[in-house]
A and B are shown apart, each in its own frame.
Chain A
Amino acid sequence: KQEVTQIPAALSVPEGENLVLNCSFTDSAIYNLQWFRQDPGKGLTSLLLIQSSQREQTSGRLNASLDKSSGRSTLYIAASQPGDSATYLCASRTNDYKLSFGAGTTVTVRA
């Protein structure tokens, strides 16, 4: 069974600092890894999807990397803003439909 871990559980940074969020998984036989953002009381918004054949994906200030051999993915958020405050979850897909989610990292960006 795939185990997905996100450390740290919470992170607080001053505005402008770069954010580094970590995700590790035990089974490297994945189709892809997806990063989501969740605001309080809201659903999950997909941020980036990295296929197993890719090393990274970028969207604006967000960059996600994937190292399947070591079972790790990292989400980088450049020049953080208060609006980036949210919980970020990673999820790996190990078969044609099942996603295994991490518990998330709650980010607070201080103005």
Chain B
Amino acid sequence: DARVTQTPRHKVTEMGQEVTMRCQPILGHNTVFWYRQTMMQGLELLAYFRNRAPLDDSGMPKDRFSAEMPDATLATLKIQPSEPRDSAVYFCASGLSSPFEKLFFGSGTQLSVL
């Protein structure tokens, strides 16, 4: 079964450290999304890429977060420096660019910033 792969599954780090999360979208999918899930806010869209180009990163704190797609098989989300309030589950999702298609989610990265 094709699936979205995220690494690492869990990350514990100290405040101020850099965190990098990686995502391998499903082969053939040309859209990639980064979401953050917390108990308080639910699922929030952080960034959206189509054909590797960032089209919407309005949900990301610009001063510390950055998202890139170095190639079609890899998307990265970086936090530098990390803060305790960044503790959350970060999901990557991929799909086709048609709005009529399903979105497929990875298993997420559980991030704890101490």
Residues on A facing B (Cβ under 8 Å): 31-32, 34, 36, 41-46, 49, 51, 89, 91, 93, 95-99, 101-104
Contact = CB atoms under 8 A, between A and B. Distances in A.
B106 interface: yes
A91 B56 CA distance: 19
A97 B106 contact: no
Nearest to A51: B100
Contacts of B106: 43
The prevalent SS among residues of A at the interface is: strand
A102 B43 CA distance: 8
A58 B107 CA distance: 25
B50 A44 contact: no
B27 interface: no
B100 A32 contact: yes
Contacts, number: 51
- B interface bracket (residues with beta carbon within 8 Å of A): 20 to 34
Interface string B49-67: 0100001100000000000
A101 B42 contact: yes
Interface in B27-71: 31, 33, 42-43, 45, 48, 50, 55-56
Nearest to B59: A98
B108 interface: yes
B43 A49 contact: no
B112 interface: no
B104 A31 contact: no
Contact of B100 (A31, A89, A99, A101): A31
B99 A32 contact: yes
B114 interface: no
A98 to B, nearest CB: 6
Nearest to B49: A97
A59 to B, nearest CB: 12
Contact of B105 (A41, A44, A96, A102): A44
Contact of A101 (B43, B56, B104): B43
